Structures are given as C-alpha cells and as structure tokens.
Amino acid sequence: MAPETRDDIAATASDSRRRPRLAVYPGSFDPLTNGHVDIIQRGARLFDRIVIAILVNLDKSPLFSIDERVEIAREVFRDQPAVEVETFNGLLVDYAERRGADVIVRGLRAISDFEYEMQMALMNRHLRQSIETVFMMPDERYTYLSSRLAREVFALGGSISGLVPQVVEQRLRQKVGPVTPGVRT
C-alpha cells in the first residue's frame, strides 16, 4: 500500500531497512568545475552515495588524462565519504545497472541544455526503466560555466579563480605553464 500522509512518507523515507540510494553523475569533467562540485555536493545530500562517473572517450583528446581527472576528483572530494570516483565506458545505463544505481544525475545550466539532456534521459529510460534521471540546476553563480569555457578563459590568460577548484587551477598551471593575458599560443 502506498504512503498516504506526510508522516507516512517521512517514515518510509527514513526506514532503515530501505536499500541505500546510489546515484551516478556522469561526465568528462575536463576539467572539474565549481558547477560540477556544487551539483555533486548537493547530490550527496539527496542520496546515500553518489559516484562521479568519468567517461572514457577515446574519440576525444582531453586536456587532462583519465587518470589525472580521477586524481583531481578524488582530491577535491577526499573528505566526503559519500562521494566515489570511477571511470566507465559504454552505455551509461549499463554502468549504472552494474553499480546498482537507482538514479542518474544530470546538470542543467540553461534552457539550451534541456533538449539534449531530455533526449538522453528518455533514451536511458527506454533502455532501463528502473533507472531514473534527476535534473539538478547549479547555483546561479555557475549557470553559465562549462569545462570548455573554463579551459578557454585559462588559455587566454583570464582568471579562473572561483570557477574551478583550486587543485584544478594548480594542475592547469603545471600542465600548460604560465599564460600571458591576451596572448594565445
């Protein structure tokens, strides 16, 4: 029988016998931005565990290697035991099912993200009806932010302070070296 009242719903939600809720947050994270961090931290409050699932995409030439992206994410979330970091390839729903995930978390920054994300969510539902997609919007400070934009601003010598975790900025400086504002190499 379905819960009828708010008290029934709260009791069901807090039932210690329920299966822990695992969410998967997929992406390339090249680099991890503060928009990603915001969604992951908020997702960790909604679910028992959240896995940052970094896509291994051999068709792309990323700035950071897959191992570097895993290291960065693990460093950023090292004090948050509910956050795990893994890599995957193939269909996201296959990976989520292997992990026992109930939910795929996707970020929506602007209306322009919605059409693509909706198509992906509907396809994932078609493939695995047991796995839900939850859309989360980042804090307003990050609605314009993307990994591509952070890379471009850095490459052009602009400040990315406050856009990416400090470790990302440090790793970019180590990888690319100092950048002269206004000079593109």
CA distance 111 to 27: 19
* Active-site hit among 28, 36, 106, 171: 36
Who contacts 162 (Cβ-Cβ below 8 Å, separation ≥6)?
34, 141
* Active-site hit among 21, 42, 99, 109: 109
Question: Residue 60 catalytic?
Answer: yes
* Active-site hit among 28, 69, 106, 147: 147
**For the chain, what is the largest distance between any 2 Cα atoms, rounded to a whole number of angstroms?**
66
Question: Residue 109 catalytic?
Answer: yes
Side by side, which strands form the sheet with 83-88?
83-88, 49-55, 22-27, 103-107, 132-136
* Active-site hit among 60, 74, 98, 173: 60
CA distance 88 to 55: 5
Which helix H or strand E contains 9, and what residues bound it?
helix 6-13
**Residues catalogued as catalytic:** 36, 60, 109, 147
